[in-house]
Structure 1
Amino acid sequence: MTLGRPIRTAALLAGIPLAAALLTAAPAGAHGSMGEPISRVAACYQEGPENPQSDVCKRLVEQNGTQPLYDWHEVNIANADGRHREIIPDGQLCSAGRAKYSALDTPGAWHTTTLPTSGTHTFAYTAAVPHRGYFELYVTKDGWDQSKRPGWGDLEPEPFLRVDRPRVRNGMYHLTGELPQGKSGQHLIYAIWQRTDSPEAFYSCSDVDFGGTGASAAAFEATEEDYGDAAEHAAHGGHGADANAEAGADDGGDAALVSASEGSAADAGASAPDTGHGTHAAHAAAAGPSDGSVVTGLFLTAFAVMAAAAAYLGVRRRRGTTGEHRAR
């Protein structure tokens, strides 16, 4: 008996769900942004790219188009490799020096999250695709307010929180640590997510009010639809997109808080290239640990079908052998 056809059929059956798992696990270009306190780009996306409500978000769409909001999870530099101060121009921190997101740097009444003045706090960072790396959170010096463009000189020299290889739980990185000491009133938290399996890094700006009593901006927790919006909108010729090649790979690990003095950025320097990163489908298989993720279910399904395919081959082989014996 010839087994070529059943082998090809079994391989195809096993490959379909695995391919689906890879594609679903890694939406093209989808990574993340600070969800609590909500980042500037996520807050404008949450308002609605096609119908922004606040003046700052309306200005963003007028200046950059709607595509940056659909791509809220892609404020990145492909070749950062820890050289953040060297490659991001002063005054362009929130956009990471990318023209596509330039309106994020402009002064204005951005959505603001109220935070306590002291104590332990858990920050939440949305993550469509987990990557091995670390997070550093910086806060502005006293005297900064939203009438100023955030510059490197406006940040405290060291991060007040660093978290290495946090785990992803339900699509979120949870970064727990002490709030910066002695801060009150209007400030900005600058988050850097530096991958260690790639030179790629991601950036976000979150406006906060330490000890504030006013209304606090709603946190942002992305759904699968929020990541899918970008691909769907780009397929229909979304506005304001820049020409970026996209790169990436995935992994996670155990969370650990380490000294804030580690991994400080280099001196300020040259302008940042307006580049993104490359395809992510091939990297989803290495994504790790991700609790409560749809990815787990997809891979389990894929492996189950592969096992069924193997069993199918075994049955066909036995039947073929039996048929040969009967023929004799």
Structure 2
Amino acid sequence: MPFLPHTPATTSSAARATGRRLLVVGAAVPLMLSTVFAGSAFAHGSTIDPASRNYGCWERWGDDFQNPDMATEDPMCWQAWQADSTAMWNWNGLYRENVGGDHQAAIPDGQLCSAGNTAGGRYAALNTPGEWKTTAVDNDFTVTVHDQALHGADYFRVYVTEQGFDPVTEELGWGDLELLADTGVVEPGEGRPSDGEALNGVSIDIDVSAPGRSGHHIVYMIWQASHYDQVFYACSDVSFPGN
């Protein structure tokens, strides 16, 4: 809140009104800044289908994030909201800079879903194994990544966990993943335009084939943006046909 000098008792009503307006504006500035941070001026993106863990939690609960029913209906999202709610409000900002293409060196095993606990650990709760909500997919499916700010990409890479990995009890490590798609260069602005809520950029569809998988798996997406050495990461939980 901005410093306001002491107002003498003789101050006019007009001056008092001006002081009140300053107080209102001062109180609104943090809200305005947080709104801009989460909005298009700082927009980036994430996997929206199958939804990344933080995007899915925001999509399901953003309008009702204080509902105690989340604890029983969606317990992994509940623990994530309790740990750091800004991970969901900033679902489009899970990235690291200056990785230099060496993702495994930048991100330790067990921290893949938080991009190595980037942003001061804001996204750390996304690493927690458990019964994350899954999206049902076939063994041939499409991953959709949303590029809000039209960054384009040097590449999108999509990995899927090996059969036998258990997302409910095991932390995700690099050795658990198989690379199944690599787009190469995607030019800025390339993709399907979207005017969906909180999107307003373009969506890029990536075809993936994951034979031999059944049950709960993690789809791991790496997006090397083309505008800067800035890399976005996302964990999405899926359910393949079968047990």
Q: What is the TM-score with the length of structure 2 in the denominator?
A: 0.70
Within a 5 Å distance, the mapping from 1:299-318 to structure 2 comes to none
CA displacement at 1:47 relative to structure 2? 2.3
Q: Deviations over 1:1-23 (max 9, x none)?
A: xxxxxxxxxxxxxxxxxxxxxx9
Within a 5 Å distance, the mapping from 1:182-197 to structure 2 comes to 182-197=212-227
Out of 66, 70, 91, which is 1:51 matched to? 66
Contact 1:124 / 1:172 at 8 angstroms: preserved in 2?
A: no
The percent identity for this pair of structures is: 36
Q: Following the alignment from structure 1 to structure 2, what is the Cα–Cα distance between the partners of residues 86 and 70? A: 28
**Structure 1 spans left out of the alignment, 5+ residues:** 1-22, 214-328
Q: Does 1:93 align with 2:112?
A: yes
Q: Deviations over 1:194-240 (max 9, x none)?
A: 12331110000011111159xxxxxxxxxxxxxxxxxxxxxxxxxxx
Give the structure with the larger strand fraction. 2
CA displacement at 1:89 relative to structure 2? 1.3
Contact 1:39 / 1:205 at 8 angstroms: preserved in 2?
A: yes
Q: Following the alignment from structure 1 to structure 2, what is the Cα–Cα distance between the partners of residues 141 and 61? A: 29
Q: Deviations over 1:61-89 (max 9, x none)?
A: 2222x111110000000112311100111
Secondary structure of residue in 2 paired with 1:59: helix
Task: Supply the AA of the counterpart residue of 2:54.
Answer: V
Could you tell me which residue of structure 2 aligns to residue 261 of structure 1?
Answer: none
Q: Deviations over 1:86-136 (max 9, x none)?
A: 01111000000121100000011111011112x4x3321122111132100
CA displacement at 1:189 relative to structure 2? 0.6
Structure 1 stretches of at least 4 aligned residues deviating more than 4 Å after TM superposition: none
Higher relative contact order (CA 8 A, sep 6+): 1
Task: Supply the AA of the counterpart residue of 1:41.
Answer: N
Contact 1:130 / 1:168 at 8 angstroms: preserved in 2?
A: no
Q: Following the alignment from structure 2 to structure 1, what is the Cα–Cα distance between the partners of residues 173 and 182? A: 20
Q: Following the alignment from structure 1 to structure 2, what is the Cα–Cα distance between the partners of residues 172 and 36? A: 13
Could you tell me which residue of structure 2 aligns to residue 78 of structure 1?
Answer: 97
Task: Supply the AA of the counterpart residue of 2:131.
Answer: A
Contact 2:147 / 2:204 at 8 angstroms: preserved in 1?
A: no
Q: Does 1:169 align with 2:169?
A: no
Could you tell me which residue of structure 2 aligns to residue 149 of structure 1?
Answer: 171
Alpha carbons of structure 1 residues 199 and 94: separation in structure 2 relative to 1, 3 Å: same
Contact 1:37 / 1:113 at 8 angstroms: preserved in 2?
A: yes
Q: Does 1:138 align with 2:159?
A: yes
Q: Following the alignment from structure 1 to structure 2, what is the Cα–Cα distance between the partners of residues 132 and 201? A: 11
Q: What is the TM-score with the length of structure 1 in the denominator?
A: 0.53
Could you tell me which residue of structure 2 aligns to residue 211 of structure 1?
Answer: 241
Alpha carbons of structure 1 residues 92 and 165: separation in structure 2 relative to 1, 3 Å: same
Secondary structure of residue in 2 paired with 1:131: coil
Task: Choose 1 or 2 for highest CA Rg.
Answer: 1
Task: Supply the AA of the counterpart residue of 1:139.
Answer: V
Q: Following the alignment from structure 1 to structure 2, what is the Cα–Cα distance between the partners of residues 196 and 172? A: 15
**Structure 2 spans left out of the alignment, 5+ residues:** 1-35, 194-200
Contact 2:150 / 2:202 at 8 angstroms: preserved in 1?
A: no
Q: Does 1:32 align with 2:62?
A: no
Secondary structure of residue in 2 paired with 1:38: coil
Could you tell me which residue of structure 2 aligns to residue 106 of structure 1?
Answer: 128
